[in-house]
Amino acid sequence: MFDLGLNNQRVRHLNKRILLALIYRYKHASKSMLAQQTGLSIPAIGKILEELMDDGKIEHSDRMLSSRGLSGGCYQIPINNSLILCMNVTPNCIESQLVNSQILPLGEYQFAAVSAPHPQALLAAIEQVYYQQRKLHPQRTIQLALAIHGQVDPVTGVSQNMPQAPWKEHIEMKYLLEEKLKTRVLLDNDCVMLALAEKWQNADNPQDFCVINVDYGIGSSFVINQQIYRGSLYGSGQIGHTIVNPDGVACDCGRYGCLETVASLSALKKRARIWLKSQPQNNTHQSNIHQSNTQQSNIQTDWDSLSSKHLIERYQQGDLQVQAWVDNAASAIGLSLYNFLNILNINRIYFYGRSCAFGDRWLNAIMRQTGFNPFDPADPNMTNATRIGFGQLSRPQQIMGIGYLYAEKALENV
C-alpha cells in the first residue's frame, strides 16, 4: 500500500522545486507561463507560489502586469542585498563577473592576469578581485562562486591538483577564503561551470548533455537527468584520462597515453616545441607556408614561449605539419567521444575552451571519428539525433555559470 499522504507531500515538494528552478531560469515567470511549462493547473500553481512566497524564496513583481487586469504580473527570485562574485581561477588569470541574487550580471566581465608562483599568491589574487568589488558595493554582501582549474572537491572546497600551477600541494580554498574574507564561498571545477552555464542559460537543452573543455587539458562534465553527474574524479576528468595510446607519454594522473597527453593544447604545444627544436637551424618547417622575413625571425626566437594563439594561427594559415598534429589530436578526441557516446547514450555535446579556435576543420575531424551514434534513427531531424558542436554561450555567460551553484543550493533546501 502506498502512503498517499506522504506521496502528496513528496509531489508538492517536487513541484515547488520545479517552479523555483523555472523562475531561476527565466528570471520572470507568470502563472500561465509556469502552467504551460509544467502542465499543472493555474490554481495548483497559485498554491505552490504562495508557499514559495511564504518561505521567502520568491517574490511577486508588477512586471508584465496587464493594464486590463488580465495577467497577474509575475514571480521572481527576490533581489536582496546579497551579490555573487563569479570567478574562473587559474594560476595565470582570473576572469570574473558580478551577478545579483537572480544571477543577472551587474557591471562588466573582467579579466586579470595573475602571476602565482605559490598557492598564497593565488589566494591573494582572488582576495584582490573580491576587495575591488567590495569597494564598488560597500553596502552589499558579496558571496563567492569559484570555478577552479583542475581537480576540485566541491564538498570540502579543496583544490586537489592544478595542472597549470608550479605547485603540487592541495589548497584548502573554501576554508582559507571564508576565514579571511568572512563570506560564503562555493566552488567547483571549471568544466562544471560550463555545464551549469549550459544547463541554466540554454533552455533548448535536453535532459542529458555534456560539455567538453579542450584547453590546457581536456575536461568534461555531464548533465544527466538535469543533474551534474559527479562520478570519480568528480566528473571532470573522464574523457581527458581515457587512454588512447598505452605506449604513450606519462600523464599527470600517473597513467600513460591519456587523451590529454595527445590532444590538449598544452600537449600540442609541447609536441610543436620538441619538433621545432629538433630541426636543423629551426627553419625547415617554414617551407610549407610563405613567411615574410620579419615573421620568420619572430617565430625562430619564440620556441620556448610558443603560445596557443600562435599555434592556432599557424594551423589556420595552412602549416601542414601543425595541421597534421592538430587533425590527429582531433581524431583522438573523436575516438574517445565515440566510446562515451556508446556507454552513456548522451547525444548533445558542446565544445568549449581555446581549442575551439581551431575552427570547423578541427570539429569536422572530431565528428568524422564519432560518426553518428549507432543507436540513433537515421533521420537527423529526430530530436534524439546526435548533435556535436561549439558551445554558443559568451564568455561572461560561461563565467556566470558557476554562480548557479547558489541556485542549486537554494533548490536543495526547498
Sketch the per residue contact string, 95 through 134, with Zn ion: x for CB under 5 A, - otherwise.
Answer: ----------------------------------------
Query: In this chain, which stretch among 133-141, 251-259, 289-297, 375-383 interacts with Zn ion, using CB under 5 A?
Result: 251-259
Cβ 221 to Zn ion, closest distance in Å? 17
Q: Looking at beta carbons only, is 251 or 367 nearer to Zn ion?
A: 251
CA distances from 129 to 1, 68, 187 (A): 57, 48, 16
CA dist., res. 125 & res. 116, Å (int):
8
Cβ 294 to Zn ion, closest distance in Å? 40
Q: Looking at beta carbons only, is 101 or 264 nearer to Zn ion?
A: 264
Among 57, 149, 241, 314, binds Zn ion (CB under 5 A): 241
CA dist., res. 143 & res. 368, Å (int):
44
Q: Looking at beta carbons only, is 254 or 374 nearer to Zn ion?
A: 254
CA dist., res. 386 & res. 372, Å (int):
6
Among 258, 263, 267, 330, binds Zn ion (CB under 5 A): 258
- Number of residues this chain uses to bind Zn ion (CB under 5 A): 4
Cβ 359 to Zn ion, closest distance in Å? 27
Among 18, 53, 64, 253, binds Zn ion (CB under 5 A): 253
Query: In this chain, which stretch among 38-46, 60-68, 255-263, 330-338 interacts with Zn ion, using CB under 5 A?
Result: 255-263
* 281 touches 297 (CB < 8 A): no
Q: Looking at beta carbons only, is 96 or 355 nearer to Zn ion?
A: 355
Q: Looking at beta carbons only, is 99 or 258 nearer to Zn ion?
A: 258
Cβ 264 to Zn ion, closest distance in Å? 10
Q: CB neighbours of 122 closer than 8 A, spacing ≥ 6?
A: 89, 91, 114, 116, 165, 171
Q: Looking at beta carbons only, is 195 or 258 nearer to Zn ion?
A: 258
Q: CB neighbours of 84 closer than 8 A, spacing ≥ 6?
A: 98, 99, 100, 101, 103, 142, 143, 144, 145, 403, 406
Query: In this chain, which stretch among 156-164, 198-206, 252-260, 325-333 interacts with Zn ion, using CB under 5 A?
Result: 252-260
Task: Report CA dihedral (106, 102, 155, 115) to the nearest 10 degrees.
Answer: -10
Cα torsion 251, 112, 269, 309: sign: positive
**Sheet order of strands, 348-352 included:** 227-229, 218-224, 209-214, 348-352, 387-390
Interface with Zn ion in residues 280-339 (CB under 5 A):
none
> Please, how many CA atoms are within 13 Å of residue 250, restricted to the half-sphere of its CB?
2
Cβ 258 to Zn ion, closest distance in Å? 3
The partner residues of 19 in beta bridges, in order of sequence, read none
Cβ 330 to Zn ion, closest distance in Å? 19
Q: Looking at beta carbons only, is 100 or 164 nearer to Zn ion?
A: 164
Among 87, 196, 244, 251, binds Zn ion (CB under 5 A): 251
Sketch the per residue contact string, 190 through 229, with Zn ion: x for CB under 5 A, - otherwise.
Answer: ----------------------------------------
- Grid coordinates representing 225? 537527468
The amino acid at 142: I
Query: In this chain, which stretch among 52-60, 244-252, 309-317, 362-370 interacts with Zn ion, using CB under 5 A?
Result: 244-252
First and final C-alpha spacing in the chain:
27
CA dist., res. 303 & res. 282, Å (int):
9
Q: Looking at beta carbons only, is 196 or 251 nearer to Zn ion?
A: 251
CA dist., res. 14 & res. 7, Å (int):
11
262 binds Zn ion (CB under 5 A): no
CA dist., res. 370 & res. 333, Å (int):
9
Q: Looking at beta carbons only, is 235 or 401 nearer to Zn ion?
A: 235
Query: In this chain, which stretch among 14-22, 130-138, 257-265, 295-303 interacts with Zn ion, using CB under 5 A?
Result: 257-265
Q: Looking at beta carbons only, is 11 or 250 nearer to Zn ion?
A: 250
* 405 touches 196 (CB < 8 A): yes
Residues contributing to the site for Zn ion (CB under 5 A): 241, 251, 253, 258
